[in-house]
Amino acid sequence: MLDIEALGGEESLARRLRAQPGGPDTPLLAAARMAAPVVTPRDFDTILAAIEGLPPAKSAVLDDWNAALSPYSAPAEPSRMFELGFQAAQELRRHLGNEGEPIDPEHLLALADVAVHEVQLESKLVDAIAVWSLEHGPGVVVNVAGAHGGTSQGRRATLAHELAHMLLDRGGALPLVEVLGGATAPGIEPRARAFAAELLLPRTAARKACAAAADIPLAHRRLAKRFRASREIVAWQIRNSGVPLSPADCTYLRGFVSNPDRF
Q: Which residues contact 47 (CB under 8 A, 6 or more apart)?
A: 31, 35, 39, 119, 121, 126, 129, 141
What integer is the mean pLDDT of 230-257? 97
pLDDT exceeds cutoff 90 at 150: no
Tell me, what's the pLDDT at 175?
A: 46
In angstroms, the Cα distances linking 60 to 23, 131, 134 are 28, 16, 15
The structure's pTM equals: 0.85
Tell me, what's the pLDDT at 31?
A: 62
pLDDT exceeds cutoff 90 at 64: yes
Q: How far apart are CA 245 and CA 248, in angstroms?
A: 8
Tell me, what's the pLDDT at 9?
A: 42
Per-residue pLDDT of 195-242, as tens digits, reads 999 999 999 999 999 999 999 999 999 999 999 999 999 999 999 999
Q: So where are the chain's domains?
A: 105-200, 203-262
Q: How far apart are CA 130 and CA 119, in angstroms?
A: 13
- Range among 11-20, 73-82, 188-197, 207-216 rated most confident: 207-216
Tell me, what's the pLDDT at 56?
A: 87
Please state the three-class secondary structure of the chain as a single string: CCCHHHCCCCHHHHHHHHCCCCHHHCHHHHHHHHHCCCCCHHHHHHHHHHHHCCCECCCHHHHHHHHHCHHHCCCCCHHHHHHHHHHHHHHHHHHHCCCCCCCCHHHHHHHCCCEEEEECCCCCCCCEEEECCCCCECEEEEECCCCCCCCHHHHHHHHHHHHHHHHHCCCCCCCCEEEECCCCCCCHHHHHHHHHHHHHCCHHHHHHHHHHCCCHHHHHHHHHHHHCCCHHHHHHHHHHCCCCCCHHHHHHHHCCCCCHHHC
pLDDT exceeds cutoff 50 at 7: no
Per-residue pLDDT of 95-140, as tens digits, reads 999 999 999 999 999 999 999 999 999 988 888 888 887 778 789 9
Tell me, what's the pLDDT at 35?
A: 62
**If pLDDT is split at 50, 70 and 90, which confidence band does 8 have?**
very low
Cα distance between the two ends of the chain = 38
| CB contact at 8 A, 157 and 181 | no
Task: Return the CATH number of the domain spanning residue range 105-200.
Answer: 1.10.10
Please give the single-letter amino acid code of residue 170: R
